[in-house]
Each structure stands twice: as C-alpha cells, then as structure tokens.
Amino acid sequence: MKKLLTAAVLSAALATPALSEPTKAGFIYIGPVGDFGWTAGHDRARKIMQEHFGDAVETTIVENVDYGADAERVMTQMALSGTDVIFAASFGYGPDVNVIAGRFPDVAFQHATGYIQDHPNVSLYDARFYEGRAVLGHIAGKMTETNTIGYIASYPIPAVISGINSAYLHAKAVNPDVQFRIIWTYSWFDPALEADAAETLIEQGADVIMQHTDSTAAIRVAEDAGVMAFGQASDMTQFGPTAHLSAIVDNWAPYYIDRVQAVMDGTWEAQNSWLGFADGIIEMAPWNDRIPAELQAEADALVAAIAGGEYHPFTGPINFQDGTPWLADGEVAPDVDLATMDFYVEGITADLPN
C-alpha cells in the first residue's frame, strides 16, 4: 500500500503535462515493427495518427518488449517521461498494464485484445476479426473448385477459433460440400513452418488457403502452386499478385486518432471497445480481379450488411460440433460467447486441440 501511495504521488508530480506541450503517446510492441504482420499494423496506425495531429502529438515506440518485468519497466519509464497515453499492443501485456495503471492513475492505458480492467484508467480495445473472416469464408466457399479450404492457425485461443468458425459457417452457407482442413502451428511467426503448412494443405486438396499467422510465407507458396490465398493483417498482394484474393486489413488508425483526441480534450474515459467494419477498424484489401464481379458485389454487400448492423456473422441456428444447439433460429451470439469461444461449430470435422 505504501508503495502504491508513493508511486501515486510520484506520478501525479511527473505525469501531468504542461499546457503548451504536445500530447505524448507511447506504444509498446511484442514484435519488431518490420514484421509485416501484427506489430506492423499497429505501427502503421501510429504513423497515420501522428500525421493527423502533426506537432500536437509526440509518439514514441519500444519494440520487441517481452511480457512481464520488461513490459512493466518500459511502461513505467514512459509514464515517468510524461507520456499521457500508452498503447500496449499485445494480448500478453494484460497483467502488466494493470499493475502499472494502478501506479499511474493519471496516465491513460490502452490495452489491445485483453480482458483485465482493474483500474479506471485502463481501456481495452479489440477488433471483430470474425466479421472479416465471414467475408473471406463466403468468397472462399464460392471460389473453391476442390471444395477444400486450408486454414493455418496459430494458437487455439478464442480470437482464432471464432475466426475459423465464422469462415466455415459462411463458406458452408454458399457451398454445402465445403470442407476445412486446419493446421495449428503453435506460433505466431515461423515463416518456414507456415510455408510447410501451406504446402501440406495444398497437397491435401485445398485450393484456397487462409491464415491466422503473421508471415507472408503461405501467400508465396500459394502463388507458386497456382492456388488462392487470403492475406493476414495487411494487404499482402505483392507477395502473390495472382493468388492473393483479399485480406482482412487491420486499421487501428481511426481508433488511435479518436482516443488520442479524447486525451487532448480531457474527455478520455476507460472503455471496452470491440470494433469491426462499422468503425473502420477492419477493412478488406482490394478484391483480386479474378473474383467474378457478381461475387465481388456479394462480398461488398456482406461487408455493408455487417457494418450496418443488419447482419451478425453468428446468427442462429448454429449447433456445437457435437450437434447440440448453441444458437436458436434468429438468435445472435452474445459477445461473451465469442470472446471466450473454445469450441468448433457443427460441420467442422477436425478436433479442437486441448
């Protein structure tokens, strides 16, 4: 307790920005900014935000920060150097963000994809990637000729599992014969392994590859093998101009601009935001020309329906994998079910690990 009090006094003395100074925003990343995946997406948004505000905002980044003590130290040093808002752009920072937020009540903390909110100065934000997966599933179901879709997945966590389910449901809706083949790599980034996984899936008949891992290796393999693929987090067209059908592009910029603006205005409050097409946080990369015009129109319409709130990708009837009912006809999945999803839906033949 004493420790907390001292720290609070310390932070009150140091973290209050002078009026004329620019607002300071700090970013901590789990990977390098050059990863062409998750971290690159956040840093792209940071730059857009920086450009938007010009001199009124000063941003700093620290990359390759491990979870735990290192993250705590970096965030504390940011707070000590007068940072007003800290974006911790990885799930694993959760416990650390909340420890530091308790010590610096005047600093705003923004934690991506987390679930712990112990203090009034911790905001959570996440993207509804499953919305984008629905569109990918729809396109994949229509485009596949072998009726087999390959899916390269990282770790069996809710965000990944809900993506698989969403893609499967929407592929199945337009193509009842469609099958999913799923490979778990147990890593977010392992280019060689992802390339091997893509090759394996293609050999087993998949002609559309989806991935929920960070490297661009699978796109290259698909390009060489003459099959189709979807990028991850960024527009990866340049790695496979023919193969790359589209991608879910993470676009955190509108959210970052919004939150930094709130800090500048003094209106910042803790939120728990789960954002999707409607907020411009996820976007579809430009459709590949090989997607027929009418399918492009369908995909556009699906994006518009989800963005407009007329359609939710998890709308019943949907059963659990074993056939027991999950959502009744017309019922929409509650957010908590999606945020903690640890099951496959009916029709996926593989077993979920663990």
Partner 1 sequence: MILGSINPAVLMAALMVAATPLLLAAIGELVVEKSGVLNLGVEGMMIMGAVTGFMIAVNTGSPLVGFVGAALGGMVLALLFAFLTQALMTNHVASGLALTLFGLGLSALLGQKYVGITPPRTPKLDLGPLSDIPFLGRALFSHDIVVYLTIALVAAVWWFLKYSRAGMILRAVGENHDAAHALGYHVKRVRVLAILFGGACAGLGGAYLSLIRVTQWTEGMTVGAGWIALALVVFASWRPWRAMAGAYLFGGIVVLQLNLQAAGVRIPVEYLSMSPYLITILVLVLISSGKARGSLNAPGSLNRPFHASS
Partner 2 sequence: MIRLEKRKEPSKFWRIANPFLAVLLTMLAGGIMFAMLGKDPITAIRLIFFDPIFSDTFGSYSRPQLLIKSAPLILIAVGLAIGFKANIWNIGAEGQYIMGALFGAGVALAFFPQPGWYIFPLMIIAGAFGGFLWAMIPAILKTRFNTNEILVSLLLVYVAERILAAMSLGLMRNPDIPGFPGSRDLRRYEAAYNSELIANTGIHWGVVAALIAVIFAYVMMTRHMLGYHVRLAGQAPRAARFGGVTPARLVVVCLGISGALAGLAGMFEVSGPGGQVRIEFASGYGFTAIIVAFLGRLNPVGIVLAGLLLGLTYIGGELGQMMLQLPSASIQVFQGMLLFFLLALDFQTNFRLRLTKGARA
Among the residue ranges 121-129, 193-201, 256-264, 339-347, the one whose residues contact partner 2 (CB under 8 A): 339-347
- Residue from 161, 222, 260, 291 touching partner 2 (CB under 8 A): that is 161
For position 274 contacting partner 2 by CB under 8 A, the verdict is no
Q: Which stretch binds partner 2 (CB under 8 A): 225-233, 309-317, 321-329, 338-346?
A: 338-346
Decide whether 80 or 295 has the Cβ nearer to partner 2.
80
* Residue 231 vs 313, nearer CB to partner 1: 231
- Minimal distance in Å, beta carbon 285 to partner 1? 14
The end-to-end CA distance of the chain, in Å, is 40
Only segment of 140-148, 156-164, 295-303, 309-317 that touches partner 2 (CB under 8 A): 156-164
Which of 7, 174, 193, 307 touches partner 2 (CB under 8 A)? 7
For residue 264, give the amino acid letter. Answer: M
Tell me how far apart the alpha carbons of residues 6 and 156 are, in angstroms, rounded to a whole number: 41
Q: Quick check: 8 binds partner 2 (CB under 8 A)?
A: no
User: Are the beta carbons of 320 and 296 closer than 8 angstroms?
Assistant: no
Helix axes 253-265 and 38-53, enclosed angle (nearest 10) = 50
Centroid of chain to Cα 257 = 18
Q: In terms of CB distance, is 216 or 251 closer to partner 1?
A: 216
Residue from 84, 96, 131, 207 touching partner 2 (CB under 8 A): that is 96
The answer to whether 106 contacts partner 2 (rule: CB under 8 A) is: no
261-280: b (≥16 Cβ within 10 Å) or e = bbbbeeebeeeeebbbbebe
Tally Cβ neighbours within 10 Å of residue 43. Answer: 22
Which one, 16 or 238, has the nearer CB to partner 1? 238
Does position 186 bind partner 2 by CB under 8 A?
Answer: yes
Q: Are 124 and 98 in contact (CB under 8 A)?
A: no
Residue 16 binding partner per list partner 2, partner 1, none, with a CB distance cut-off of 5 to 8 Å that depends on partner kind? none
By a kind-dependent CB cut-off of 5 to 8 A, residue 157 interacts, out of partner 2, partner 1, none, with partner 2
What is the dihedral sign for C-alpha 151, 298, 326, 283? positive
95 interacts with partner 2 by CB under 8 A: yes
Applying the rule CB under 8 A, the residues between 126 and 155 that interact with partner 2 are 155
Q: Pattern of binders to partner 2 over 25-64, x per CB under 8 A?
A: -x-----x---------------------------xxxxx
Contacts of 21 by beta carbon, 8 Å cutoff, 6+ apart: 82
- Catalog residues that contact partner 1 under the rule CB under 8 A: 32, 34-36, 150, 181-184, 186-187, 189-193, 195-197, 199-201, 203-206, 215-217, 220, 238-239, 349-351, 353
List Cβ neighbours of 275 (8 Å cut-off, separation of 6 or more). 125, 126, 127, 128, 255, 281, 282
Maximum C-alpha span of the chain: 66
Using the rule CB under 8 A, which residue among 49, 65, 206, 218 binds partner 2? 65
Q: Radius of gyration of the chain from Cα atoms? A: 21
Asked if omega into 158 is within 30° of 0 (cis), the reply is no
The tokens for 338 are 């999606």
Q: Which two tokens stand for residue 162?
A: 């809900």
Residues 6+ apart with CB under 8 A from 147: 175, 177, 178, 179
Beta-bridge partner residues of 220: none
DSSP 233: E
Minimum gap (Å) between residue 245 Cβ and partner 1: 18
User: Interface with partner 2 by CB under 8 A: which range of 272-280, 284-292, 315-323, 336-344?
Assistant: 336-344
CB of 195 to partner 2, least distance (A): 21
Residue type, 58: E
Q: Which residues bind partner 2 (CB under 8 A)?
A: 2-3, 6-7, 14, 26, 32, 60-70, 72-74, 76-78, 80-81, 91-92, 95-96, 99, 115, 155-158, 161, 186, 340-342, 353-354
